Amino acid sequence: MPKDSHAPLKNIPIKIRTTNSARVAFGDVVYGPGGTCGPRVQADYQLVIIVTGSAHIAVDGEERALAAGQVGLFLPGKREHFAFAPDRRTHHTWCALHPSLVPAEVAEACRRAAPVLPVARRFEQLIELGLALPLTAATQAHALIDALGLAALQAYLFTDTRQERRDTDEPDALRRALAWIGASGHEAVDLPALARAAGVSPAQLVKLFKRHLGTTPLRYVWEARTRRGVQLLRETGLTVGEVAHRCGFQTPFHFSRWCRELHGLPPRALRAQAWGRIPIAGRAAPVHISRQPATSPP
């Protein structure tokens, strides 16, 4: 037997694992040095993630490079040719979605999206979830595979949207303030405290919120806490008082004022509406409450 009989062939993957349904495929493969794929006409929406190594891809004659830690989006109907690193192995994973699974608005977003992005942790986890499904999932849980594939594609588009926001020079102070609001949803808050968390003066923080979000810092806080409170009303059995306390409202009445401001209904009526229940006699009924154009609740 020739001594090189076990050497990897140039264009044959060394290792491969896949999970697939009729419309979605997840795959994981290692190519030897100098491996290639194509030329081919792409049939799907495909996400290709480079784990180690690299790839140069010609897409309709235009060159595209993918390095380790990056993911590329490839669209149906494009002619492609992949050339992997010539001097080392290239490990990459992928997710391919048949066009029939992709809604029109998502397809349009794909056409506008950046062709290459850094791999976000959440996106990476979705790919690993797809690859971790057993082979029986193809017949027993094909809807789950489809959902994971579409979620991976939308996670890519979400990462692209976040990148666009960074490219518009969204200030670090604003991001710090939003991170504090998201992580400290139950703590007492006032403008000076929020400004300290953001690292700017209160006046500067007000300018940033109005310029980038079209609102004031404290109104943003109470709207975010109200959204969280309404979610808890709909999805848990916590009392209105418990919901108000966990979402940082001073009193249940304070929470109720914001529910009326944003939804036109008090908390118990919102829960009754969500649960399909008739409100108990003596409690607020889910009727329309006229909203005054006056000042918003504090």
pLDDT of residue 67: 93
Q: Note the residue count of the chain.
A: 298
Report d(CA 133, CA 110) in Å as an integer. Answer: 26
Contact between 86 and 33 under an 8 Å Cβ cutoff? The reply is: yes
pLDDT exceeds 50 at position 200: yes
Residues 6+ apart with CB under 8 A from 137: 19, 21, 144, 145
Tell me whether residue 62 is exposed, middle or buried, using C-beta atoms within 10 angstroms of its C-beta: 0 to 12, 13 to 18, 19 or more: exposed
Summarised one tens digit per residue, pLDDT across range 109-137 is: 999 999 999 888 888 888 888 888 766 65
Lowest mean pLDDT among 54-58, 75-79, 108-112, 282-286: 282-286
Domain span(s) for CATH 2.60.120.280 in the chain: 15-167
Summarised one tens digit per residue, pLDDT across range 30-43 is: 899 999 998 999 99
pLDDT of residue 129: 86
Average pLDDT over residues 197-207: 92
pLDDT exceeds 70 at position 168: no
pLDDT of residue 124: 86
Summarised one tens digit per residue, pLDDT across range 262-271 is: 999 999 999 9
Report d(CA 259, CA 45) in Å as an integer. Answer: 42
pLDDT of residue 268: 94
Domain span(s) for CATH 1.10.10.60 in the chain: 172-275
Q: Does domain 15-167 correspond to CATH entry 2.40.10.340?
A: no
Q: Which two tokens stand for residue 186?
A: 């139950």
Neighbouring C-alpha atoms within 13 Å toward the C-beta of 279: 16
Neighbouring C-alpha atoms within 13 Å toward the C-beta of 71: 26
pLDDT of residue 130: 85
What sign results for the dihedral spanned by CA atoms 119, 121, 123, 126?
positive
* Cα 258 to chain centroid, rounded: 28
Contact between 82 and 57 under an 8 Å Cβ cutoff? The reply is: yes
For the chain, give the percent of residues with pLDDT over 70: 80
CATH of domain 172-275: 1.10.10.60
Residue of 212 and 2 predicted with greater confidence:
212
Average pLDDT over residues 67-95: 93
Q: Could you tell me where the DSSP H helices lie in the chain?
A: 104-112, 121-132, 137-140, 142-167, 172-183, 191-198, 202-213, 217-235, 240-246, 252-263, 267-275
pLDDT of residue 280: 45
Residue of 171 and 248 predicted with greater confidence:
248
List phi, psi (to 5°) of 74. -120, 135
Put the strands of the sheet holding 62-67 in their side by side order. 36-41, 79-84, 54-59, 62-67
Average pLDDT over residues 65-75: 93
End-to-end Cα spacing for the chain: 84
Summarised one tens digit per residue, pLDDT across range 133-167 is: 766 655 667 788 899 999 999 999 887 665 444 44
